[in-house]
Structure 1
Amino acid sequence: MLPGMPEPVVIRPAAAFDAAFAVPLVQQTIGQVGLALTGTDSDTGAARAMLGFFPLRGNRLSYEHVLIAARGAEPLGLLLAYPGAQAAALDDPFRERLVSLGLPGHVESEGTPGELYVDTLAVTETARGQGVGATLLEAAAARARTLGLSRVGLLVEDGNRAAALYARVGFRAAGTRSLAGGTYTHMVWTLPQ
């Protein structure tokens, strides 16, 4: 690396110790969906509940589904993605949590079979506009191929500025969905063979 050049962005698998960085960023990004998923009524409450799930395997918010983008030791963003066919099973721990709180155990699973579902793509405010999101989406494509999946899918809320990034990368609208009181466009990126 040349002197004065910034370190490159590196993508690495998350570890349980990444919770303090990842969980608040996830809740900031998913908002109302996080409240519905955890049965809480505040971002703080949702993040607190998510902190309990992040270090555990077998749920949608587990570190095992997270990739971290970092420059040196500084985390810049994350991608939370899992095979869509596993979505219902990965939501079961949240259904159990809701029932234990005396709430209806309904969780709308978001992933679609046949795709790697991007649950959350989030970049810190200071790292936006530097290509971190696109780099994370390329990592999602690589993960999808490794899993034998030919598509990457996600839901984007109407008016979300990230939709322009998704379109540039190759995502196309494939319908709409209602989730946690919001309307989302299901976007799919069919990966080149």
Structure 2
Amino acid sequence: MIRKALATDAVAVAPLILDAIGIEIAHDLTGASNKEEAIRLIGYFFAQKDNRLSYENAVVATDQKHVIGIALFYHGSQTERLDRPFIERWMERKGQAPTIVKEAQDDEFYLDSVAVHPDCRGKGVGTTLLKAFEKEAEARGYERIALLVDEDNGKARKLYESFGYRPDATKLVSGHLYYHMVKNVPVLV
């Protein structure tokens, strides 16, 4: 089952988000220096409003009792506003602004992260979350959707291509090269 995420899902989704974004991106966003701190800070930001990791920007997949997957998304034109809490936290704690790469273009609805609990992979949960993201884009009237996929993740790239996504650029994010993939979706009238 897919539902809107709740702030109370933070404990369940924080490890999934870390799994999707990796420790390097987690560090760039939160300043975390280890996995435990990254999970704690991701959970903190997830439970807050107005940031790229917020529950406001997510749907979750459940198995009736537990959260087993998550999709995080936002419109690229909102990136600066949604990244501001991370920059403010860095400034407070370290006295300097982090380098946060803008992953989304201003004219696209962006799938920031999709992750499925390891015990539930290979059962179509990720595909269901991807479809939920696309339905959200259609419902909001966005014609262009996008995502990044690690150049080393050929399996995910093939999945996205089977859904009609096509690479249009590459981006270097936290030391990793990613394909920026886009797709046009029909607008509901």
TM, length-normalised to structure 2: 0.92
Shift of 1:103: 4.9
Q: Which of 40, 63, 81 lines up with 2:32 in the alignment?
A: 40
Q: Which of 125, 131, 147 lines up with 1:132 in the alignment?
A: 125
**Does 110-119 or 10-19 show the bigger shift?**
110-119
**Aligned residues: percent identity?**
38
Residue 115 of structure 1 contacts residue 144 of structure 1 at CA under 8 Å; is this kept in 2?
no
Q: Which of 10, 13, 18 lines up with 1:22 in the alignment?
A: 13
- Correspondence 1:95-174 to 2 at 5 A: 95-105=87-97, 106-160=99-153, 161-174=155-168
Residue type of the alignment partner of 2:114: L
The Cα offsets for residues 9-57 of structure 1, whole Å up to 9 and x where unpaired, read as x110010110011111101211111111111221211111122211111
The aligned residue for residue 83 of structure 1 is 75
Give me the whole-angstrom Cα distance separating, in 2, the residues matched to 1:136 and 1:188.
Answer: 17
Q: 1:110 to 1:103 in 2, by over 3 A?
A: farther
Give me the whole-angstrom Cα distance separating, in 1, the residues matched to 2:174 and 2:91.
Answer: 17
The aligned residue for residue 183 of structure 1 is 177
SS at match of 2:37: helix
Residue 91 of structure 1 contacts residue 109 of structure 1 at CA under 8 Å; is this kept in 2?
no
- Correspondence 1:7-18 to 2 at 5 A: 10-18=1-9
Residue 13 of structure 2 contacts residue 43 of structure 2 at CA under 8 Å; is this kept in 1?
no
SS at match of 1:86: helix
Runs of 4+ in 1 over 2 A off after TM superposition: none
SS at match of 2:40: helix
> Higher helix proportion, which one?
2
Stretches of structure 2 that go unaligned for 5 or more consecutive residues are none
Stretches of structure 1 that go unaligned for 5 or more consecutive residues are 1-9
**Does 104-113 or 155-164 show the bigger shift?**
104-113
Shift of 1:74: 2.6
Aligned residue pairs total 184
Shift of 1:71: 2.1
